[in-house]
Amino acid sequence: MAEDERVLLAHGSGGRLSHELVAQVFVPPWENPILSRLDDSAVFRLGDGTEPPLAFTTDSYVVKPLFFKGGDIGRLAVCGTVNDLAMSGARPLYLSAGFVIEEGLTMTDLRAIVQSMREAAEEAGVQIVAGDTKVVEKGSADGLFINTAGLGLLRSGLHISGEGAQVGDIVILSGSIGDHGIAVLSQREGLDFESPVSSDVAPLNHMVAAMLEVSPQIHVLRDPTRGGVATSLNEIAGQSSVGIHIREETIPLKPGVWAACEMLGLDPLYVANEGKLVAMVSRADADKVLEAVRGSTYGREAAIIGEVIPEPQGKVLMETAVGGTRIVHMLVGEMLPRIC
Amino acid sequence: MAEDERVLLAHGSGGRLSHELVAQVFVPPWENPILSRLDDSAVFRLGDGTEPPLAFTTDSYVVKPLFFKGGDIGRLAVCGTVNDLAMSGARPLYLSAGFVIEEGLTMTDLRAIVQSMREAAEEAGVQIVAGDTKVVEKGSADGLFINTAGLGLLRSGLHISGEGAQVGDIVILSGSIGDHGIAVLSQREGLDFESPVSSDVAPLNHMVAAMLEVSPQIHVLRDPTRGGVATSLNEIAGQSSVGIHIREETIPLKPGVWAACEMLGLDPLYVANEGKLVAMVSRADADKVLEAVRGSTYGREAAIIGEVIPEPQGKVLMETAVGGTRIVHMLVGEMLPRIC
C-alpha cells in the first residue's frame, strides 16, 4: 500500500480490501493478543483472571437509507452488535450508543430510530447504558451514523472462534441469504420487485443460547454480514487452515432475493445478512444443534449446507446446482456500499 | 420539542440543548437505572454482583480539522474516552475503535492517526482490543469520524458521581482552561496568535490514580470538555442540588488563550478542554489532593477555584476579577462546533 494511496469505498466492503486495510494499517500499530484474533468480539478476563471472561465489540452503522423494509438503522445498530457478541458465545448485556447526526435530521426520524433501538434492545434482553451525541454541519455527514459497542459475559468452558473449525465439522446456516442487502438496495434505488424483500435484521442471541444449551462444544459461529456468506466462510477457512465444502442447492434463498439478484447481476452469496449465522459443529452434534436453531424464532429455515474438509486449506469450494465444483472467493471490490 | 423540529448544531454543543435532547429524546425510551445517572461513564456489576464494578463509556469524535497543534483526532479519541472512565474513578483498561471514513482520505493521514492512537493508548496504559471500519462516499462524511468505547475497573468503595458534591467541598481545577478549543479553532480558521496555543489533549487516568491514592473519598470528578468549565460546574450543581461559588482570578488561563478569547469574543469558561478535570473534595482532603494533582504530569498548574455552597441550588456563582458576583450559566447555543 503506497503512502500516497487513498481510502476507497471497497476498503469498507467487508471483503478482501477491508481485510488488507485492517491487517496493514490497524493491526501492526495496535498489536496485542486480544485484538489480533480478529474474531467478531474481543474476549478477555478482568481482575485476577479467575472471573468469567467478557466479550467486547464495536460496529459503526452507516446504512443508507436510514429506514428500509423490515428495519432501520437503529434496529440494525442494536442487532448487529448483539450478534457480534453472540457469535463469541457470550450473553449480550450492555450496549453503548454514539450518534453522529447531520444538522437538519428531523426529530421525528430521530425519535423513531431511538424507539426502534429500545424495542430491539428489549427483544435481545440488553440495556443501553451509555450514549453520546455529536452534530455536524449540513453536508458533513449523511443523515445519521450510529456506533454501538457491546459487552457480554461468557460461560467458562466455551471455545468458539473462527480458528476453531475442524475437519469433519458440519456447516449449518440458520436461514435464507441476502434478505438484508436486497431489502436495503431496493429501498435505496426505488426498485419494486414482485415479491418485496424484507431485511432479516434480528437479534440472534436467543438462538445461540438454545444452540449452546444442546451443545456447548460448538466450534465456530459467525454472522455473515458485509461480504455475505462467501466472505465469512473464507475468513473461517483461512483462520482455521481448513477447506470448506458447500452445496449450492442446500442454501436457503427466497424467490424475491433470487429474482432481484438475477436482475441486478448479484451473487447472493456475497449479499449482506443481518439475522443469520453460520455454525460449525462436530458431526455428532449437528442434528441436535440444527434442531435447536430450527426451534428458535429466526431459524425455522435452517439447513446443513456443507462440511469442513482438509484441503484446499483456506479455500471454500461449492458444488453447484448443475453439478460442477467451483472455488468461492472472498468478496473483491465493493458490491453494495453502505449496506450496514 | 415539536415533532417537525430538526436537529441543530447546538444540539451537539454539550450545552443546554444537548441536555434537552438527551433528556427528551434518548432517556425516556431507553430508561434504566444505569443510563439515568447521566455521569461520564455507566457503572455496573456483572455476574452475581459480588465482583468489582465496571465503568463503560462511549464518545464519537468529529473534530475539524483532523490535525491541530498539540494533537489529532486519534489522540483525542483515546484520551477523551480514557478520561470519561477516569472521571468515574475507574482504571481504564480496554478500548474499542469504530472508524467512519470518507472515501478519499489519504492513507498517510489514516496511518498517522492510527499511530497517534497507539501512542496515546500506551501513555494511558490501555489496549485497543476491538475495531470496525466503514467507508462512505465522498461528500457523505467529513474526512474521518472516530468512536471509541471504553471499559474500566473500579475499586470497590468509591462513590464518585456528579450527584456527590457536598456543601463545604473545595473545587479543584487541574490547570489552565480553553487550550483545546482555542488550538482547534486557530487551526481551523487559520488564525495566528502571538503565543500559539497547543491543545491540552492528554490522558488523565494517572492523575486520578494519584488523587485516589491520597483520598479515596473524592466526591466528584469531571472533565470539562464540550461546553467548558461553566457547563460542567452547572451540571454538577444540578445533579447534586447545591450551589457552586468560584473566584475568577484563581482560574488558570494562558496568555495566548486569553488573547484569542478577547479577540474572538469568547468566554474561556465555555471553551472545551481535553486534558483538564474539576474535582470536588472535602475541605479536610483538599490540600493533599491538590498536591497529588500538582505532582502529576498534566496538573502542575492546578488550583483551588472555589467551594460548594448550599444556595442557590443548581447555580454557579462567580466572584469576578473586578469584585462583583455573577451567575455563570450553562452554555446556550453553539459556540464552537466540532471541537471534539
**Residues B100-132: tens digit of each pLDDT:** 999 999 999 999 999 999 999 999 999 999 999
Check CB contact under 8 Å for B107 and A32. Answer: no
Q: What architecture does CATH give domain B37-153?
A: 2-Layer Sandwich (3.30)
* Rounded CA separation B109/A283 (Å): 49
Judged by DSSP in three states, B205 sits in helix
Cell of A32: 496485542
Asked whether the beta carbons of A158 and A188 are under 8 A apart, the reply is no
Q: CB-CB: which of B25, B130, B139 is closest to A42? A: B130
Residues in contact with A199: Cβ distance below 8 Å, sequence separation at least 6, in sequence order: A68, A69, A70, A71, A76, A179, A180, A183, A184, A274, A275
**Counting runs of H as helices and runs of E as strands, what totals does chain B give?**
9, 14
Per-domain boundaries in chain B: 37-153, 170-327
Burial label, A282 (beta-carbon count in 10 A; 0-12, 13-18, 19+): middle
- Cell numbers standing for residue A260: 432481484
Residues of chain A below pLDDT 70: 1-3
Contacts of A194 (CB under 8 A, 6+ apart): A256, A259
Nearest Cβ partner of B149 from A1, A61, A96? A96
Does ipTM top 0.90?
Answer: yes
Spell out the residues 6+ positions from residue B269 whose beta carbon is closer than 8 angstroms to its own.
Answer: B177, B228, B229, B230, B251, B318, B328
Nearest to B56 among A130, A134, A139 (CB): A130
CB contact under 8 A, B11 and A135: yes
**Measured between alpha carbons, how far is A8 from A118 in angstroms, rounded to an integer?**
34
CB contact under 8 A, A107 and B26: no
Return the closest-CA partner of residue A40 out of A217, A315, A278.
A278
CA separation, residue A63 to residues A142, A188, A201, A339, B197 (Å)? 10, 10, 12, 5, 39
| Stretches in chain B below the pLDDT threshold 70 | 1-3
Q: How far apart are CA B304 and CA B251, in angstroms?
A: 8
What per-residue confidence (pLDDT) applies to B48? Answer: 74
Nearest to B264 by CA among B320, B182, B194, B337: B182
Question: Which residues in chain A have Cβ-Cβ distances shorter than 8 Å to B153?
Answer: 46-47
Q: Which of B1, B114, B151 sits opposite A56 (nearest CB)?
A: B151
**Which pLDDT score is estimated for A2?**
59
pLDDT at B109: 98
Task: Determine whether the interchain pair A111/B25 forms a contact, defined as Cβ–Cβ distance below 8 Å.
Answer: yes
CB distance A68 to A199 below 8 Å: yes
pLDDT digits (tens, 9 = 90+) for B153-182: 998 889 999 999 999 999 999 999 999 999
Please judge whether A100 and B62 are an interchain contact, meaning their C-beta atoms are less than 8 angstroms apart: yes
- CB nearest to B7's CB, from A104, A147, A153: A104
The size of the A-B interface in CB pairs under 8 A is 281
In chain A, which residues have their Cβ closer than 8 Å to the Cβ of B140?
62, 64, 141-142, 338
Q: What's the rounded Cα separation, in Å, for the pair A94 and B55?
A: 11
Do A176 and A161 meet the contact criterion of CB atoms below 8 Å apart?
Answer: no
Is B136 in contact with A142 (Cβ distance < 8 A)? yes
A153–B100 CB contact, under 8 Å: no
Test B12 with A133 for CB contact under 8 angstroms: yes
Q: Which of B129, B151, B188, B338 best tests the A interface by mutation, with the highest count of A CBs <10 A?
A: B129
Chain B's closest residue to A84, CA to CA, is: B130
Mutate to test the interface with B, among A1, A4, A5, A7 (most CBs of B within 10 A): A7
Among residues A173, A166, A174, A152, the alpha carbon closest in space to that of A217 is found at A166
Are B41 and B90 in contact by the 8 Å Cβ rule? The answer is: yes
A276: its cell numbers: 443469520
Indicate yes or no: CB of B32 within 8 angstroms of CB of A129.
yes
Q: What is the pLDDT of residue A196?
A: 84
Residue at grid coordinates 429466526: A298
Helix (H) or strand (E) holding B172: strand B170-173
User: What pTM, to 2 d.p., does this model score?
Assistant: 0.96
How is domain A170-327 classified at the CATH fold level? Answer: Phosphoribosyl-aminoimidazole Synthetase; Chain A, domain 2 (3.90.650)
Beta carbons of B60 and A99 less than 8 Å apart: yes
